[in-house]
């Protein structure tokens, strides 16, 4: 015969019950008492003593309102029907253009009047633009895609709760059900029975996600194809200026002057290229999103398969004990 405690609305949160009998009571976020899930008491006189602890008579105990065995079977059913991690919706992996930027780039050597012609200054400006940003287009695309993946995929490849690992939440849910079962069944289930530490450990998937191998050529190429501007297309954003500079003396000793040229506004060209790169990522976002979603789908499937296997093992272990439990005869205290 097994007894189950209940708490009424009279509870004022004095704490006496959950401080003295944490195996049966715990504290809610509001400081009130609640029953530890799956907790039963076999000893009637001990149960009466516990009921008497509460000055406002908020604790009651009922013996065999449903047997321990029946309660255990209910939890076993819940475990058997546990669906695992739900696959997220594809719409959760949208590439939102406004959330990304190429970063800030600027050239050096601007406003130096050291070129003898305007075209020479123009060429130097373009070369500087190429050096400081245009030559790094692939790295910038990779940075944007990595940012996108880090923000949306991280919960699917981290084991860290602080990083919002989706697996930690599900592991906790299963662990809670196992604790409930263990509370009912008792010591016949081992200490490690409630421990659930399942993560997708498919070596290939982890390797791909952690090292970013999938975000190399496979994703950069589609973005590059959408970015069909040549280096010369950015020439229009660069500016030049000229200034008369002292150029020594002529044969009569008179000072000579010469027009010299400089370039500037490299940052303007960089800004335009940055916008074009983000737009190209957006235009190729179908591929980026599809690839990200595919990785998540694989991880969720791997995780669920492992989780179900472990739950089946735990259920089989618990079932042996539960089936051997005696049936209780209904009787109220």
| Residues binding ligand SF4 (CB under 6 A) | 7, 11-17, 33, 53-54, 56, 58-59
Measured distance CA(143)–CA(100) in Å, rounded: 10
List all residues 6 or more positions away from 23 whose beta carbon is below 8 Å from its beta carbon. Answer: 36, 39
Query: Min. distance of Cβ 37 from ligand SF4 in angstroms?
Result: 16
| Nearest partner of 35 among 7, 57, 12, judged by Cα | 7
Of 51 and 231, which CB lies nearer to ligand SF4 in the complex structure?
A: 51
Query: Min. distance of Cβ 58 from ligand SF4 in angstroms?
Result: 4
Query: Min. distance of Cβ 10 from ligand SF4 in angstroms?
Result: 7
Query: Min. distance of Cβ 194 from ligand SF4 in angstroms?
Result: 25
Of 7 and 215, which CB lies nearer to ligand SF4 in the complex structure?
A: 7
Of 27 and 317, which CB lies nearer to ligand SF4 in the complex structure?
A: 27
Of 28 and 117, which CB lies nearer to ligand SF4 in the complex structure?
A: 28
Q: With helix as H, strand as E and coil as C, how does the chain read?
A: CCEEEEECCCCCCCCHHHHHCCCCEEECCCCCEEECCCCCECCHHHHHHHHHHCCCCCEEEEECCCCHHHHHHHHHHHHHCCCCCCCCCHHHHCCCHHHCCCCCCCCCCCCCCCECCHHHHHHHHHHHHHHHCHHHHHHHHHHHHHHHHHHHHHHHHCCCHHHCCHHHHHHHHHHHHHHHHHHHHCCCCCHHHHCCCCCCCCHHHHHHHHHCHHHCHHHHHHHHHHCCCCHHHHHHHCEEEEEEEEEEECCCCCEEEEEEEEEECHHHHHHHHHHHHHHHHHHCHHHHHHHHHHHHHHHHHHHHHHHHHHHHHHHHHHHHHHHCCCCCCCCCC
Query: Min. distance of Cβ 55 from ligand SF4 in angstroms?
Result: 7
Of 13 and 330, which CB lies nearer to ligand SF4 in the complex structure?
A: 13
Of 16 and 231, which CB lies nearer to ligand SF4 in the complex structure?
A: 16
Of 58 and 141, which CB lies nearer to ligand SF4 in the complex structure?
A: 58
Query: Min. distance of Cβ 62 from ligand SF4 in angstroms?
Result: 15
Measured distance CA(209)–CA(154) in Å, rounded: 9
Of 17 and 174, which CB lies nearer to ligand SF4 in the complex structure?
A: 17
Query: Min. distance of Cβ 183 from ligand SF4 in angstroms?
Result: 18
Query: Min. distance of Cβ 51 from ligand SF4 in angstroms?
Result: 10
């Amino acid at each position: 015969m097994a007894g189950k405690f209940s708490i009424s609305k009279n509870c004022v949160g004095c704490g006496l019950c959950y401080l003295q009998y944490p195996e049966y009571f715990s504290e809610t976020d509001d400081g009130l008492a609640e029953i530890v899930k799956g907790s039963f008491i076999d000893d009637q006189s001990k149960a009466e003593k516990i009921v008497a602890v509460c000055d406002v008579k908020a604790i009651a105990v009922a013996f065999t309102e449903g047997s321990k065995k029946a309660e255990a079977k209910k939890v076993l059913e819940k475990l058997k029907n546990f669906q695992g991690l739900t696959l997220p919706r594809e719409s959760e992996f949208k590439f939102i253009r406004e959330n990304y930027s190429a970063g800030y780039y600027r050239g050096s050597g601007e406003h130096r009047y050291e070129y003898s012609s305007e075209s020479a200054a123009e060429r130097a400006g373009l070369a500087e633009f190429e050096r400081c940003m245009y030559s790094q287009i692939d790295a910038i695309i990779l940075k944007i895609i990595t940012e996108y993946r880090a923000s949306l995929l991280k919960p699917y490849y981290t084991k860290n709760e602080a990083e919002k690992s989706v697996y930690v939440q599900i592991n906790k849910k299963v662990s809670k059900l196992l604790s409930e079962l263990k509370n009912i069944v008792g010591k016949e289930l081992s200490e490690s029975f409630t421990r659930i530490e399942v993560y997708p450990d498919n070596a290939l998937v982890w390797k791909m996600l952690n090292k970013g191998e999938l975000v190399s050529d496979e994703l950069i190429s589609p973005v590059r194809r959408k970015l069909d501007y040549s280096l010369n297309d950015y020439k229009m954003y660069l500016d030049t200026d000229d200034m008369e500079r002292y150029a020594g003396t002529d044969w009569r000793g008179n000072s000579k002057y010469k027009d010299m040229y400089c370039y500037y506004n490299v940052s303007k060209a960089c800004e335009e290229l940055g916008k074009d790169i983000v737009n190209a990522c957006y235009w190729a976002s179908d591929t980026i999103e599809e690839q990200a979603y595919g990785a998540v789908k694989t991880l969720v499937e791997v995780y669920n398969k492992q989780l179900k296997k472990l739950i089946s093992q735990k259920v089989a272990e618990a079932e042996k004990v539960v089936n051997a439990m005696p049936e209780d005869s209904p009787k109220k205290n």
